[in-house]
Amino acid sequence: MTATALRLSGDFSIDALTFDDVTLPEPAPHEVLVKIHAVSLNYRDLMLVQGRYDPHVQKPRIPCSDGAGEVVAVGSAVTAFRKGDRVVAPFFLDWLDGPPTAAAPASALGGAIDGTLATHQIFPERALVAIPEKFSYAEAATFPCAATTAWHALVSTANIGPQDTVLLLGTGGVSIFGLQIAKLRGARILITSSSDDKLGRALSLGADHGINYRRHPDWDKQVRDITGKVGATHVLEVGGAGTLPLSLRSAAIGAQVSVIGVLTGLEEPLNIGQILMKTLRVQGIYVGSRAMLAESLQAFADNDIHPIIDRTFEFERAKEAFHALEKAHHFGKTVITFPA
Ligand SMILES: NC(=O)c1ccc[n+]([C@@H]2O[C@H](COP(=O)([O-])OP(=O)(O)OC[C@H]3O[C@@H](n4cnc5c(N)ncnc54)[C@H](OP(=O)(O)O)[C@@H]3O)[C@@H](O)[C@H]2O)c1
């Protein structure tokens, strides 16, 4: 069959993406053909398209890791799904459960292999997760990268609870999922943002304190003041080079600093003194497994928590969605929807 994909073929730039017809084979015995209904964008997709993620990525490449849709055909040996089922794909097709595997990076959708920004895509049966009834396709599509990453950090590696103070940086996709998960776990929540309006929205979602990082470039001091000089017991570090030194200074003794993002760049010498003298656990996080995706979906469904979708764009306007993500006016997630 022929799918339409928005692909990276020539130059690295949003405007160089092209809508291409792509021929998909019949699903192999253990594969499933999915009609994509929604894709959510992540900062990594923007980096990929702009050549900042992997300048050597093989082209043409279909970007995006996050896709949710409807099963339209199954291979001859598929037993877990049938036509009409609503499914979402994990970020890594080959990291199903347990600790990360060497095979995972080569199975990353929208990076190492073609992703989800297409009307149809084929996935292995073993990877797909059923969408809980209460979530729309758009909502389900927000979980594979951002929610799984926040879940991996806060729950799978740290098992946070009411005793924790979680520090979140900015109000993008990962941080707002982090807020919802920290709230669900009963933790105290501090969040930074460049915008007072966004801080107001974060407080209304349950954050306990907001800090404007533009007005307070030394926001680590605010964190220490608010916490009575103790610091945060978990930092969801999405900022990268420009924020990591402040995140380490914001961390409490024995805290976990989950190193996730590179919003301000990659190159930063570590302050080893902060790490060892505070006995910090600096934990690298690369999204997470299929099991973490399934757990986060289930936890949100069980507790009737819905992802925060800022804006939705139709597939034909997908390039505008990338431009919107670049402007960073969003709060939470940006989603692309496909005609039914
Ligand atoms: N390691 C992994 O597996 C993994 C997984 C997911 C994401 N990531 C990375 O994590 C980062 C966030 O991803 P995302 O998809 O959540 O991004 P996003 O939705 O595009 O988030 C953008 C937001 O980040 C905030 N921000 C920008 N510069 C900041 C700074 N200096 N200090 C604090 N906040 C800042 C801004 O919030 P305000 O507007 O409120 O200021 C901005 O709106 C990216 O670097 C991404 O590549 C990594």
Low pLDDT (below 70) residues in the chain: none
Proportion of the chain above pLDDT 70, given as a percent: 100
- Give me the pLDDT at residue 270, please: 82
Tell me the H-state helices in the chain.
43-49, 137-140, 148-151, 173-184, 196-204, 219-226, 244-250, 272-277, 290-302, 318-327
How far is the centre of ligand 1, averaged over its atoms, from the C-alpha of 178 (Å)? Answer: 12
Best of 41, 109, 174 for a ligand 1 pocket test (most atoms within 8 Å of beta carbon): 174
What confidence tens digit (pLDDT) does each residue in 281-333 have?
999 999 999 999 999 999 999 999 999 999 999 999 999 999 999 999 999 99
φ, ψ at 149 (rounded to 5°)? -65, -50
User: Where are the domains positioned within the chain?
Assistant: 2-143+289-337, 158-284
How far is the centre of ligand 1, averaged over its atoms, from the C-alpha of 144 (Å)? Answer: 16
What confidence tens digit (pLDDT) does each residue in 87-121 have?
999 999 999 999 999 999 999 999 999 999 999 99
Domain 158-284, CATH class in plain words: alpha beta
Query: What atom of ligand 1 comes closest to residue 333's alpha carbon?
Result: 19
How far is the centre of ligand 1, averaged over its atoms, from the C-alpha of 190 (Å)? Answer: 16
- Give me the pLDDT at residue 269, please: 73
Chain position carrying tokens 């301000």: 264
Partnered with residue 236 across adjacent β-strands are: 168, 258
Closest CA relative to residue 259, chosen from 279, 286, 232: 286
How does the average pLDDT of the chain come out, rounded? 97
For domain 2-143+289-337, give the CATH number: 3.90.180.10
- Give me the pLDDT at residue 329, please: 97
- Give me the pLDDT at residue 131, please: 98
